[in-house]
Structure 1
Amino acid sequence: MTGASVDGVLFDIDDTLVDTRAAFAVAIGQVLRTYVPGADEATVARALAAWRADAGGHYRAYTRGETTYRAQRMTRANELHAAFGGPVLDDDAYDVWDEVFEAGFVGAWTAHPDAHDALRRVIGAGLVVGSLTNAATDYQTSKLVRAGLDQHLEVLVGVDTLGIGKPDPRVFVEACRRLGTDPARTAYVGDELDVDARAAAAAGLVGVWVDRPGPRRVPVTDADVAAARAAGVHVVTSLDELPEVLGLPG
């Protein structure tokens, strides 16, 4: 026991530790400049919002094990083109599209400014840390390395570990098992209110929602936030607030 309210912390990666929203902006910008001549910044912004929202729920279908990563990504790429004027992508054309997208996306992976210090403070207080992510383990490990965060933590559970992802409670329990902590003494920190914080709390962990300033991926109402707080979820706007939430020394 550390004296803190928990013994371990599991972190989401995208838009919690790594500024994935900004990286998506670069990737979508490159895609539109390549496939939709004349697309202006306002168009890019609308396309970015549509990509992040994923109104068809294709990525979540992937995390439920209902489709492959390639299939969901290709479907989303074609939906994006249909909405913003790009050509239909067959298998070969999609391969080229994906190279354009990934070049921009990977090249823009950077840590949020508050990530390194938050991890150092949590580890310095004697807590164990790891990550639970809804992307593939190797891909996310590469992301942590490029963002310089691999020195602090490793990916314990990815969507490929059990073939499913958040919000399924089994992935939270498995991540705690690998971390070596009791779920009740483990915090999960993520940027999505539903699949991260609320799902963690439902699985018996301490849910922490990082509600960073800026456009949310999907709408969240005041009633949603109130219900989450009532369920025991902690709400912060920066990882700088995490030590206080966890009861760590100043």
Structure 2
Amino acid sequence: MRAVDGVLFDIDDTLVETRAAFRVALAAVLDRYVPGADVDVALAMWRADAGGHYRAYTRGERTQREQRMTRANELHAALGGPVLDEDAYDAWDALFDDAFASGWTAHADADAVLVRLLDAGIRVGALTNAGHAHQTAKLARVGLGERLEVLVGVDTLGYGKPDPRVFLEACRRLGTAPDRTAYVGDELDVDAVAAQRAGLVGIWLDRPGPRRVPVTDAEIAAADVTVIHTLADLPGILTRPPTGT
């Protein structure tokens, strides 16, 4: 018996190993623009996004270009790099994107869990806070694109998570009722908690290693969501064998 009829996944750092890809991208731009800068310091700053620029983009308040150019210049300011004007940023962004794409890989546990869910008759899709075309290319490159029936991006409705409307739209496209749909993502607040508030089953994938934003034990307890540390644990949570008669 299935506990859900569908599962929606976050993509970055859930299905795709994006943290490592960001490190590759930042190493490339720092080598050219800020030689000698500490890549791991830059990576922590980039992922933390203390100014909240990426989240402003997901709320529809800034364009992708605006948020990334601002973050690039903030990174340079912190590490001693040059100010990027529009033309300089274009070159920076092209270098960043090429290196970023070269670092994309699927998490080792991703494909197997997608296959197991599909074999169990569970519908599978993705809801992401990045653009649809960008994420389609990413999934195709890592070999996961054909596993997903639906992909909803931040540009589908013009805003993204944690807005409950994007979760409901993703369920609608997947063809499953929200209360019979799980959402799995690596961020406690915008993934698991937001999904649960939208009426889905929220599941937080807390992979080993540094979190993008620190989370306290009290915050985890207050969230009251299911926590897993590998996607391999997911099928056991979402399916259960039939009882004997």
The two structures have a TM-score, normalised by structure 1, of 0.95
Runs of 4+ deviating beyond 2 Å:
none
In structure 2, which of residues 88, 96, 117 is the aligned counterpart of residue 93 of structure 1? Answer: 88
1:58-99 Cα offsets, whole Å, 9 max, x none, are: 000000010111000000000000001110000000000001
- 1:215 equivalent to 2:213? Answer no
Unaligned 5+ runs, structure 1 = none
**Corresponding residue of 1:235:** 227
Which range is displaced more, 165-174 or 238-247?
238-247
> Matches of 1:84 and 1:111 in 2, distance apart?
31
Deviation at 1:159, TM superposition (A): 0.4
In structure 2, which of residues 67, 85, 102 is the aligned counterpart of residue 72 of structure 1? Answer: 67
Matches within 5 A, 1:1-250: 3-39=1-37, 43-229=38-224, 233-248=225-240
- Percent identical among aligned pairs is 71
AA partner of residue 234 (structure 1): T
Does the CA-based 8 Å contact 1:190-1:209 persist in structure 2? yes
> Matches of 2:55 and 2:209 in 1, distance apart?
22
AA partner of residue 11 (structure 1): F
Deviation at 1:156, TM superposition (A): 2.5
How many aligned positions are there? 242
1:189 partner SS: strand
2:215 partner SS: coil
The two structures have a TM-score, normalised by structure 2, of 0.97
1:19-53 Cα offsets, whole Å, 9 max, x none, are: 000100100111111111223xxx11010000000
Unaligned 5+ runs, structure 2 = none
